[in-house]
Amino acid sequence: METLDKPKYKVILPLWTAIVEKMAVSLFVFSIVFVLYALFGYPLLLLVWGRLAPSPIQRAPFTPTVSVLIAVRNGERYIADKLKSVFALNYPQDKLQVIVISDGSVDRTEEIVRQFPQVELLAVLAGGKCAALNAGIKKAVHEVIFFTDVRQLLDAACLANLCACLADPSVGVVSGELVLLSGDRHEHANLGFYLRFEEWLRKQISAVGSVAGATGAVYVIRRHLAVLLPHDILLDDVYQPVSAYFQGARVILDGKSIAYDYPNRLDTEFKRKVRTLAGIFQILYRFPALLNPRHGICIHFVSHKLSRLMLPYAFAAILAASFFLPQPWAMLALAGQSLFYGTAVLDFLLPEAFPGKRLTSLTRTFLTMLTAAVFATAIVFRPSQTLWKETR
């Protein structure tokens, strides 16, 4: 019997090996194509789209009344400078309603705010940013609401530029842009390129349609489009704009509307990115129509936001499939990936002044963001508010 079975093994084993190799090749190619589309194909598509079929907006001088909302908890370090930057805006001061919502602050934040008699202070019990913003939205009486955070200072022309975009009646939400000041040189090198690329990508999306979100530190929304936020939502600056989009308004990014910030350390940015990516699950749960191709925002949400969540799994699939590729492709694929991942590990060892530090830092930053996408799945198992970490 044993002798008779040997020919079967001789036939079955090569057949099984061939099947595994074909599956590995298919998985490898599919994953590579997905990664290339997410990182290069989609940006290239946006460039071509913007050239062939742009959707420009009609900017014009426009000065509606504006309610400025600043939600803050324990912001004594920033609040005075923030309010000074608000009152330094090149915008009619008689058209501004400035509201600071203190979310259970226990430092000198409220005392400092009271030194500005033109500011309305709302002191509420600590309930999170969304609860604080809801209190501010209820208090806002003007045509436009300007959401801005306490840490970032505003360019003098920021609000005027944001409102100029609202002169186009199709536009309901306008996001500004964060410009990084020079902080820690190494951390700036780590994050600068990544953040600039993200801003560039959002500008390209804005040129052809609607962006699925805004820069939380600097954006405006027409008052009648603003909605009250669920208290557990992680991304108020995505929930509000997406809600406005499904009310028929366009959501755009204006690169002339600037707020200034310092770059976070990579470990701080990692925590922020985990929260941001986890928030995408919440947004998708509450707005499943984002996956409906009949809505123009679908391709941008899937290609920009959702693909970020899928990228780490595509890289894992590439690595796993590489072990089962036919030779010499398996050796080449594994060697290339060893070099790629090794570059990120090397960044921990290289001194600051090393000539190749910029490349290794970029690779390390990219892999850190991929890891954040994996950690973001924690929202499936943990209450969303446990993912919120205060940025310092």
> Per residue in 155-202, pLDDT tens?
999 999 999 999 999 999 999 998 877 654 444 445 566 778 888 999
The mean per-residue pLDDT over the stretch 138-167 comes to: 96
User: Could you tell me the residue range of the domain that residue 356 belongs to?
Assistant: 24-54+306-392
In a domain, 376, yes or no: yes
202-241 pLDDT, tens digit each: 999 999 999 999 998 999 999 999 999 998 898 999 999 9
In a domain, 340, yes or no: yes
DSSP code for 304: I
Range with lowest mean pLDDT among 289-298, 322-331, 378-387: 378-387
CA distances from 327 to 75, 324, 363 (A): 59, 9, 27
Task: Give the per-residue pLDDT at 229.
Answer: 95
245 and 97 share one domain: yes
Beta carbons within 10 angstroms of residue 391's beta carbon: 12
29 and 131 share one domain: no
Domain boundary among 240, 263, 286: 263
179 and 35 share one domain: no
Could you tell me the two tokens for 346?
């090397």
225 and 368 share one domain: no
In a domain, 385, yes or no: yes
115-131 pLDDT, tens digit each: 999 999 999 998 889 99
The total number of structural domains that make up the chain: 2
**Is-contact 227 240, C-beta < 8 A?**
yes
Mean pLDDT score across all residues of the chain: 87
Band of the pLDDT at 274, cuts 50, 70, 90? confident
Beta carbons within 10 angstroms of residue 342's beta carbon: 12
Q: Does residue 29 register a pLDDT over 70?
A: yes
Task: Give the per-residue pLDDT at 101.
Answer: 96
The mean per-residue pLDDT over the stretch 8-27 comes to: 76
Domain boundary among 239, 263, 287: 263
Percentage of the chain surpassing pLDDT 70? Answer: 86
35 and 76 share one domain: no
Q: Does residue 286 register a pLDDT over 80?
A: yes
